[in-house]
Amino acid sequence: MVRGFWLNRWFGTASPADALRALSEVRGLVTDEVLSIPQGRPFPLERFTEAISFADTPAHDAKPLLVFEDGRDNDDE
C-alpha cells in the first residue's frame, strides 16, 4: 500500500499542463472513491512546534494543518 510521497521536485520540473492533468486525474480518483484523502488535524499557528512534532510521529493518521487567522471580526457573523 502506498501511504504518501513527495511531489515537490516533480512539480518544480513539470509543465503547468502536465501538473494540471495529473491533479485532475487524482481529483477524479478521489471523486470515484478509488483514492481517499485522510482529514487533516488543525493546529493554530501559535502551536506550530506541536504540529511539527505530530508530523514526525510515526503512524499518525492525519497531516497537521496550520490554521491562520483570517483577520475578520467574527462579531459581525
The alpha carbon of residue 13 and the mean position of all alpha carbons in its chain are separated, in whole angstroms, by 20
Can you tell me which residue has the cell 512534532? 53
pTM confidence score? 0.52
pLDDT in tens, 13-71: 999 999 999 999 999 999 999 988 878 889 999 998 999 888 888 777 788 888 887 65
Strands (E), 1-77: 41-44, 64-67
Nearest of 45, 46, 41 to residue 57 by alpha carbon: 41
CA distance 64 to 51: 6
